[in-house]
Structure formats: C-alpha cells, structure tokens
C-alpha cells in the first residue's frame, strides 16, 4: 500500500476540515452575500473589500494576524480563554476559524452574484402574492440561487482542501490534529519521500480536476425547463 | 372608492397625484411611457417604499405617511399583473398559481381555482414550466395567479404591451370576462387607446408624473382640451344597445342615447345587448346640408360645440353634440372656414366607419 496511516489520517482530517468549513461558510456567507446584494448603504464597498481581502493577501499574512489575535495576548485568545475554551492556535477549531476567513470570498462572491442575478422582480411578485420577506427568501430566492449555492459549496470546499500557508501558521503540524494533506506533502518532500508525495499530490490534482469538472457541468444545467 | 395621494421624487422625474377613483369597474391609467402610470400602480401596491402620501381603498387605509402607516405589499389584499407576467421560473404553472392562493386564508378565498383556470383558458398548461409558454399564455397565467389571491383590488401593468396584435386579441376577451364576471375593481395601466376604450369605465390621463384628467371614459375621451384630442387616434366611445339586425344586408343596428341609431356591418347579436362603439374623429366628416346620394351609412344631425387645435396645424378638432352624446370630427382648417362653422351651428355628421368593441 503506497499510503501510510499518517497519510490517511491527513486525508480524513482535510475532508473533515473542508466539510465543517463549508457548512459554516454557507451559514454565515448567505446573509453577508444577501446584504451585499441588496444594500445601497455606504458600507457596501468597505464590507465587500474586507470579504475579498483573502483573495489577494498572502496566506501567511492572514495566518500571522490570526495567530496573534488568537494567542494568549490577542483579543480572540483572551475571549476564548474567558469562556473556558482554551486557546485556538494549534487546534482543529483554530484551523476551522482560519479556513472560514481564508475561504470566505469563495463562498460569498458566487452567492452574491447569484442573488444579484435574481434581481428585485421575483421578490416583488412574491410580495404581491402575500409572501413575507422571509417566506420569499426560502421559497423564491433559495431555489433560484441554487446554482450559486452549488458553485459556492464546491469552491469553498476545494479552496479549503488546497490551503497551506494559513494552516501552517496557525495549525502547525500536529499529526491527526492539524496535519492536513498539503502539510503532509510538504513533510514528505522535506523527508525526500518523493513516492509518497507523488501519491498525495497526484490525488490532489485528480481531486481538483474532478471538482472543477463538476462545477462546469452544474453551470450548464442552470436553465429551467 | 379609492383615494390615492402620492408623492415620489427622483432626480429627473417626480410623481405627484391626488386621485379619487371609483371602487368598482375598470379604471385605466393612460398616458405615454414615462408619464408615471406604472410608478403610481407600484405605489398603490406598496412596492415603492419611498413614496409619501395616503392611500385608502374602499374604506381601508393602507398608507398614511403623516402617521407613519405603511402596510407592506404582502399584507395588502391586491393582485398584481406584471407587464411580462413575472412568473417564477422554477415553478410549474400549477405551482405558480398555488403560490399566492395557499398564502391566503381559506375563508377569504372567493375565487375558485377551477373558475380562474377556466376563465383564462389555461387548463392544458398546468404542468408546464413558464419558459415553455408563449407570451400570451404566460400573461394569462399571470392574471390567473393574481386572481387566485382573491384580491380586493386588481392592479394590471400593461398586461398586453409585450404581445403582438394577434395575442392581444386573444387575451382581451378574457379581460372583458373578468370585468363582467368578477366584482373586483381593476386599475389598468395602458398606453394603447384601443385597450382603454374597450375595457375602461373610468379614465385617468397621466402626463409627466401628474394626473391631468380623471373621469368617466366616454366623457374624458370626448374632451378637446386634453392631449388625447391632439393625436390621429382621437375619437369617442359610445355606449349603446343592439336594436336589430338586417339579415339581408348583414347590418347590425345599435341605438344610443335619445334614439339615435348607428348601423354597421356585423354578424347578428342579441337584441338589447349592451355594446361599446368607437368612432374615431378622422372618420367623421361634416356638411351643412343633409347629404344625399352618399354611400356613407350613418349620417346624423349634430350641433357644433367647440373647435380645438390638433397636432397638425392644418387640422381642427370639432366637438359635436348628438342629442346629449359627444362626437369628435377631425377636419381641415380650410373646411372649417369654408363652412363657417361656429358654436351651436346645426350640421350633419357623416360617420365613415364605426368600430364595435364587444
């Protein structure tokens, strides 16, 4: 068997992290995207820019600030300690927090585009048919934005699977706790275990290809018939 | 009774209207595009949250900016028919119809689903998705969907504007059935005179965000002081009843106020049936003596009331009184002067063509 139990542990951890991160992102990304799509507030620009920051910042920068904030002197660290949760760095929970921030734009932007594309008209039709705004969101907006949710989930998941810098900065390299596939590959390469690295790296290539293929296939089926 | 006072300002356009409209029958909001018809309709529906003003519909207050009252659109008992139907693309026709209906309390449902579906002739479309419908079909579904909320006021925003002539003629009879069979007041936005004369009991004329006239349709159409009178389409609406049919020549006789009768080539209709007839000003010519040897079928005595200018300096619009019914004649200024027409003169109006509106 080319993969060791440590490799499998890294794969399991990666999938777990990506799943939890994607679910959290869908929950918090949806209202953010909806607000960005509907608001005419002056804050739209700044908030949109903050959400997009992880697209351009080096992952080490995000990781560095998260590490500082979540550390014993950081405001997040003091907050989590006061709640009795301990510190987040070098834990799975810390990785989740980092991944959520790192992958935020990959979920918010497709959702925002989907909401923008719906426009105000279906909402007005729903309102004249007695649907309250919340009712309308669940019965009209969500079904119409379904392609956007699929894209957002796929991108959020795949981008989390592919992260390295943020993970290394705040998660370190603790087997079965914070050592994800990308870090495991780095370890193999450092240890000159190229064969092992090939299996994992090749797997990532295939995974990414399949994900993108699924994404394009889902985009082709967005017309209603 | 519908009392609507609204103000809504934008950079380049503002709406300011104060209207008292009848609480039953069809009221047309008529005017060129950009005159504020649709905006007014949206204010009444509650879709313009920025609008200021008061709205009372048959005794119920829906908006009063002075006291901060604004009933949100989903709590107003209206039906809204959008210009392009605005069906939900992810739902079948049946589910589009059910969407509004199931959100209305069962005790308040006054229009049965089967009745609405039959009225609009959409039984065969129920399982289709909206993008598999023609424009006319989509519009009929949109009307049925609005009706199934059992609205106390039906708002229709140019429901026929996006359709070609054939489709329009296909839907108009359905709209007339709504008018005849359901006792729901309808506000109908249109910029097409033929729809207005055919459907409306009351007419509001809009221009640049103002309501410049509001009154009974036939009276308002016959006014020469309104921009309606300027155009080539100027004409009057006459309400009459069928009095007979000449089977040998295929001519239908229709009598209107005070016994005047018009005859027109038309298949027989039931005696006594009420009809609307449109007579366009350009189809009416005048002469001082009763013409003889004319092929024109309808020649009736009339009295000159007023003379107005039109969009063409060579033309004048003459308003006539035919025993209490108004008639318009568009003639040249040359003829006007040659005949020496002035107020209260007796003339003979020759009506070259008469359109039956159903």
Is a pLDDT exceeding 80 seen at residue B231? no
Name every chain A residue with its beta carbon within 8 A of the beta carbon of B74. Answer: 126-133, 135-136
Going by pLDDT thresholds of 50, 70 and 90, the confidence category of residue B5 is very high
Give yes or no for B54 touching A (CB within 8 A). no
Q: What's the pLDDT at A73?
A: 86
Mean pLDDT, residues B161-182:
77
B74, A223: Cβ pair inside 8 Å? no
- pLDDT higher than threshold 90 for residue B9: no
Task: Tell me whether residues B149 and A135 touch, CB distance under 8 A.
Answer: no
d(CA B328, CA B285): 10
Q: Which of residues 104-123 of B touch A (CB under 8 A)?
A: 104
Residue B159 touches chain A, beta carbons under 8 Å = no
Contact criterion met (CB < 8 Å) for B132 and A139:
no
Answer yes or no: do B89 and A144 touch at CB < 8 A: yes
Distance between CA atoms of residues B40 and B33, nearest Å: 13
Identity of the highest mean pLDDT range in A2-16, A56-70, A126-140, B325-339: A126-140
Q: Computed from CA positions of residues B43, B44, B46, B51, in that sequence, does the dihedral angle turn out positive or negative?
A: positive
Flag whether residue B70 sits within 8 Å of chain A, measured between CB atoms: no
Residue with tokens 């103002």: B210
pLDDT for residue A224 is more than 60: no
User: What pLDDT is stored for residue A141 in this prediction?
Assistant: 95
> How near does any CA of chain B get to the CA of A31, in Å?
22
Quick check: A124 and B72 CB within 8 A?
no
Q: Provide the shortest C-alpha distance from residue A52 to chain B (in Å).
A: 31
CB pairs under 8 A between A and B: 70
Rounded to whole angstroms, the Cα distance separating A180 from A159 reads: 13
Percent of chain B with pLDDT over 90: 43
What digits encode the pLDDT tens for the residues A14-34? Answer: 999 999 999 999 999 999 999
Q: Which domains does chain A have, with CATH numbers?
A: 5-224 (1.10.3720.10)
**pLDDT recorded at residue B358:** 63
- CB contact under 8 Å between B86 and A125, yes or no, is yes
Contacts of A129 in chain B (CB under 8 A): 74, 99-100, 103, 145-146, 149
Q: Does the complex come out with an ipTM higher than 0.85?
A: no
How confident is the model at residue B74, as a pLDDT?
Answer: 95
Residue in B closest to A145 by C-alpha? B90
- B72: chain A residues, CB-CB within 8 Å: 127
Q: State chain B's mean pLDDT as an integer.
A: 88
The helix (run of H) or strand (run of E) holding residue B211 is: strand B210-216
The residue in chain A having the minimum alpha-carbon distance to the alpha carbon of residue B153 is A128
Percentage of chain B lying above the pLDDT 70 cut: 99
pLDDT at A221 over 70: no
Chain A's closest residue to B142, CA to CA, is A125
Task: Please check whether residue B348 touches A, CB under 8 A.
Answer: no
- Using the Cβ of B88 and the Cβ atoms of chain A, whether some distance falls under 8 Å is answered with yes
Most confident of A190-204, B155-169, B181-195, B257-271: A190-204
- What's the whole-number mean pLDDT along residues B24-50? 91
Q: Is B316 on the interface with A (CB under 8 A)?
A: no
Looking at residue B148, its pLDDT comes to 93
Looking at the predicted structure, is the pLDDT value of residue A223 above 70? no
Q: Does B46 touch chain A (CB under 8 A)?
A: yes
Scanning every residue of chain A, which has its alpha carbon at the shortest distance from the alpha carbon of B132? A225
d(CA B53, CA B276): 36
- Check residue B29 and give its pLDDT: 93
Lowest mean pLDDT of A33-37, A104-108, B23-27, B229-233, name the range.
Answer: B229-233
**Chain A contact present for B267, CB below 8 A:** no
Give the pLDDT of residue A167.
Answer: 87
Smallest CA–CA distance, residue B109 to chain A, in Å, is 13
Residue A43 confidence (pLDDT): 92
Q: Distance (Å) from the C-alpha of residue A223 to the closest C-alpha of chain B? A: 9
């Amino acid at each position: 068997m080319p993969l060791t139990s440590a490799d499998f542990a890294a794969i399991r951890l990666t999938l777990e992290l990506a799943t939890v991160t994607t679910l959290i992102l869908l929950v918090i990304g949806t209202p953010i995207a909806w607000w960005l799509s509907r608001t005419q507030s002056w804050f739209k620009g700044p908030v949109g820019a903050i959400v997009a920051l992880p697209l351009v910042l080096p992952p080490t920068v995000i990781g560095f600030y998260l590490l500082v904030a979540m550390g014993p002197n950081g405001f997040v660290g003091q907050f989590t300690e006061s709640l009795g949760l301990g510190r987040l760095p070098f834990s799975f929970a810390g990785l989740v927090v980092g991944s959520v921030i790192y992958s935020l734009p990959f979920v918010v932007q497709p959702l925002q585009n989907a909401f923008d594309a719906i426009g105000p008209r279906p909402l007005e039709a729903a309102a004249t048919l007695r649907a309250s705004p919340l009712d309308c969101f669940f019965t009209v907006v969500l079904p119409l934005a379904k392609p956007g949710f699929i894209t957002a989930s796929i991108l959020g998941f795949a981008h989390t699977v592919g992260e390295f810098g943020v993970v290394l900065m705040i998660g370190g390299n603790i087997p079965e706790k914070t050592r994800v596939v990308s870090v495991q590959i780095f370890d193999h390469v450092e240890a000159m275990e190229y064969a092992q690295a090939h299996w994992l790296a090749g797997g990532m290539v295939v995974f990414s290809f399949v994900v993108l293929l699924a994404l394009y296939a889902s985009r082709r089926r967005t017309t209603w018939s | 009774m519908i009392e609507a006072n609204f103000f809504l300002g934008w950079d380049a356009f503002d709406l300011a209207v104060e209207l008292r409209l009848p609480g039953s029958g069809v009221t047309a909001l008529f005017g060129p595009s950009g005159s504020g018809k649709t905006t007014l309709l949206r204010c009444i529906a509650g879709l313009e949250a920025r609008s200021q003003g008061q709205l009372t519909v048959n005794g119920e207050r829906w908006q009063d900016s002075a006291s901060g009252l604004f009933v949100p659109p989903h709590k107003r008992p209206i039906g809204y028919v959008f210009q392009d139907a605005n069906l939900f693309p992810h739902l079948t026709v049946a589910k589009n119809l059910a969407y509004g209906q199931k959100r209305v309390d069962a005790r308040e449902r006054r229009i049965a689903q089967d009745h609405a579906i039959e009225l609009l002739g959409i039984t065969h479309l129920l399982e289709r998705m909206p993008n598999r419908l023609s424009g006319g079909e989509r519009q009929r579904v949109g009307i049925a969907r609005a009706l199934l909320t059992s609205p106390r006021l039906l708002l229709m925003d140019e429901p026929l504007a996006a359709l070609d002539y054939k489709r329009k003629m296909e839907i108009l009879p359905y709209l007339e059935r709504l008018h005849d069979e359901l006792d729901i007041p309808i506000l109908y936005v249109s910029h097409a005179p033929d729809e207005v004369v055919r459907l409306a009991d009351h007419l509001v004329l809009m221009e640049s965000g103002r309501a410049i006239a509001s009154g009974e349709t036939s009276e308002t159409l016959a006014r020469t002081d309104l921009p309606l009178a300027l155009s080539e389409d100027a004409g009057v609406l006459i309400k009459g009843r069928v009095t007979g049919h000449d089977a040998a020549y295929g001519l239908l006789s229709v009598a209107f106020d005070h016994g005047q009768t018009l005859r027109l080539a038309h298949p027989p209709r039931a005696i006594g049936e009420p009809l609307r007839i449109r007579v366009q000003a350009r189809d009416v010519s005048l002469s001082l003596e009763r013409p003889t040897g004319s092929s024109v079928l309808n020649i009736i005595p009339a009295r000159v009331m007023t003379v107005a200018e039109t969009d063409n300096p060579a033309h004048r619009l003459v308003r006539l009184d035919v025993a209490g019914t108004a008639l318009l004649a568009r003639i040249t200024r040359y003829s006007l002067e040659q005949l020496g027409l002035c107020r209260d003169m007796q003339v003979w109006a020759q009506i070259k063509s008469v359109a039956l509106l159903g």
